[in-house]
Structure 1
């Protein structure tokens, strides 16, 4: 493919060489460059791809795309193109190189602080109920034609994303649901992609910091970007910032909700310990739905998935079957254990998600609600006392422990959490080692207690001092119980 074709639609200058050079592939990692590739230099948060241009040339690339000057002598046989944003250039080139594969199936993009993974999994189960060929992309895994692949981030880098789309199209995939993070939007990972449906579920204070968003306003603005690159938008009208999203959208908008007038709405909500039921009201029918997960927030998640499936013309029986059978790793996941108490694993790792989880479960648990959690290091410190206060208010007992301390001392993070806990009358204990904390929670449990291990969810690692160590809470619990 001609290099100039990969740059179509972008502003750029040819620093040296010919822009009509034939390239065999697109690469952004010098370790994987092959002969006659174009190497795109990404100035990342950890490393700068411009520093690896010489390596890429040595491995046979015939062209470079840069956004700043190179401090090396480039051979006359190598073309250098300069543009203002190489992340955008990479996404653009990936879309064109793989021939816009997203146009070959129906694509839904889900954004929101909470619920992205659950909504995608709900759609997965609806797809399976309808026996259609599908793919999913998200935090837990990517699935291409029933083949599960581990994933490194919520929204893949643009080159990997388009390659995955290409593989899905090659497998005659009909429907794809993917999580679209604010980081993915900010860093142009989905630039050039056109979604059939974009879903906005909610937003709360999260992902704000030196390596994420500079402010809440920036966080929201990046969420809204999704609705300039989709054909139809589906907005949770009950969210406090729904009107900001609707005002910023350029696509046709549908709404869903519980408390405000919406195109798709739920009423007749009945909560249970392990599920929730509601009437799904659409423009053409009303149907009783059961979601195989507890909590009002899963009514919103269920509405989002069901409304997306409705807009795509899925039979209501398939929608109902999918929601009734859905199971999501690390999302209100109950462990099958020989105990007279219940142990649940959940990914709640922000103030809003912890509040939603604990307040909903508190209404339904027959015994004590015991919450074990920590906060991540190198993230928004203001959330720590907030989460401590939430746990102290809603749990009967709290075990404060460590959770991905990264470069911080776990004890310092725990002390920050304790500041909020001390504002309540909640009972608690501090145990830095997470395994010891889980052991304590299990050994001190009473009959009918619900022990919630919050924060890790689907994660199977702990991140500390620049390294990730294997850590799966399911395995830890079973090892402690010797089963």
Structure 2
């Protein structure tokens, strides 16, 4: 692909070969087209601006640059009004419009996106369809696992279109995408149309540091439905959505459950749908996963999959790494979960309390450079619902860890909770496991599936499950 071909809609450019696209100057290689885009403004930090790194990109081998303000560069430069829009268009063109060769299914929502997307992918695969999955916890091409890109739920447009191109080239027919509100607002998935769009739920107090208001946050998520031929939505969201044909799930919806049973090994319930009903089993902890199951089943039904196969698929779902993942059951239970907000932590602790024989111990922190209310909410929930909490680091980034922990401690003291401060996460995990007694449950919350721990400007390798297993081995357990 040449620069002339890629930028033809915007002007006349030389036929220079283009080997790749990049927004980060550090990822530029010889022959790349660099997009100099302004950073995303957030209340807690001044954003970087790609325009300031354009010359560095050229020095690294960029053959041309696209940006939004005047620049004087020794390579062709295209100034546009909306760089992200152009980025998505160019990414689609660079990869040969792979979205046209695939049936796309999109999943959004405040909570449960990853589980719903992974479950939907599992149901497609179990029904004989060859499907790809793009989600927070990683990528899959059929049954082949692949690591995700970056720290985002949904990566930038070049990576999204690259993912779809690989799925197409492997001969897959369907792709399930976990689509965040950030991705929709920042046009990371611009140009994609979905056969089925799924809106799992909505919590208005999430991501206000980025969206500003709950209304803007909801509008961003609802964009997914506008771009979908068929729509599966939580019945509770109907009042906030424009009139239209929807398949609803949940209480009062068309896809719903009765006779729910929670066990230490998962959920059992009777599934009711317009296509029939049946007894279902789902090997996931937490009644909140019922919502995810109903959403995924609804999407499968709209796609034309038989109910009997979907019921079978629910029963064989292996779950997600780092999402209520049971690492050890004896002599005490050790569980890893991604819960990193007050609401998600509350759901996790309440779920575990139902089947906990002894005490509930918790290792948790709060991310730096994020909404400061999040850390106090996490601490309050921990104080109310855990018998003993170990407050520790969780991606404090350039914000002082001591300040985060002190804010958590102050909030927990007001609630009368029992806690200790252990700044080093590895040490906190070991101390929690050391304190556990037979029958107790230890929840390691906040990191889940993530593979880095951010300290200052460093992103250190991290694997929560390996850390837990190592500590258990060192303790002779």
TM-score clears 0.5: yes
Q: After the TM superposition, which residues 261-410 of structure 1 pair with which residues of structure 2 at under 5 Å, given as runs? A: 261-326=252-317, 327-336=319-328, 339-410=330-401
Give the paired residue count. 461
Q: After the TM superposition, which residues 126-165 of structure 1 pair with which residues of structure 2 at under 5 Å, given as runs? A: 126-151=123-148, 152=150, 153-165=152-164
* 1:386/1:286 CA distance change after superposition, 3 Å: same
Q: Is the 8 A contact 2:185 2:220 kept in 1?
A: yes
For 1:411-430, what per-residue CA distance to the aligned partner results, in whole angstroms no more than 9, with x for missing partners? 22122122332233433222
Q: Distance in 2 between matches of 1:54 and 1:357?
A: 48
Partner in structure 1 of residue 239 of structure 2: 243
User: What's the offset of the Cα at 1:49?
Assistant: 3.4
How large is the Cα RMSD of the aligned pairs? 2.5
Partner in structure 1 of residue 21 of structure 2: 27
* Secondary structure at 1:99 match in 2: coil
Partner in structure 1 of residue 249 of structure 2: 256
Partner in structure 2 of residue 198 of structure 1: 197
Q: After the TM superposition, which residues 201-212 of structure 1 pair with which residues of structure 2 at under 5 Å, given as runs? A: 201-204=200-203, 205-209=205-209, 212=210
* 1:215/1:466 CA distance change after superposition, 3 Å: farther
* Secondary structure at 1:277 match in 2: strand
Which runs of 5 or more structure 1 residues have no equivalent in the other structure?
none
TM-score (structure 2 length as normaliser) = 0.89
Q: Distance in 2 between matches of 1:411 and 1:316?
A: 53
User: What's the offset of the Cα at 1:201?
Assistant: 1.3
Q: Is the 8 A contact 1:330 1:456 kept in 2?
A: yes
* 1:344/1:425 CA distance change after superposition, 3 Å: same
For 1:74-108, what per-residue CA distance to the aligned partner results, in whole angstroms no more than 9, with x for missing partners? 56xx3x43321111101012223333212222211
* Secondary structure at 1:372 match in 2: strand
User: What's the offset of the Cα at 1:445?
Assistant: 1.4
Q: Is the 8 A contact 1:399 1:431 kept in 2?
A: yes
Q: Distance in 2 between matches of 1:387 and 1:419?
A: 12
User: What's the offset of the Cα at 1:263?
Assistant: 2.2
Q: Distance in 1 between matches of 2:199 and 2:452?
A: 29
Q: Distance in 2 between matches of 1:376 and 1:58?
A: 35
Q: Distance in 1 between matches of 2:36 and 2:63?
A: 14
Partner in structure 1 of residue 43 of structure 2: none
Partner in structure 2 of residue 88 of structure 1: 85
* 1:2/1:269 CA distance change after superposition, 3 Å: same
Partner in structure 1 of residue 219 of structure 2: 221
* 1:56/1:289 CA distance change after superposition, 3 Å: same
> Aligned pair 1:422/2:422, yes or no?
no
Q: After the TM superposition, which residues 43-82 of structure 1 pair with which residues of structure 2 at under 5 Å, given as runs? A: 43-45=38-40, 47-54=48-55, 63-70=64-71, 72=72, 74=74, 78=76, 80-82=77-79
Q: Distance in 1 between matches of 2:404 and 2:165?
A: 43
Partner in structure 1 of residue 166 of structure 2: 167
Q: Distance in 2 between matches of 1:57 and 1:450?
A: 54
Partner in structure 2 of residue 188 of structure 1: 187
Partner in structure 1 of residue 112 of structure 2: 115
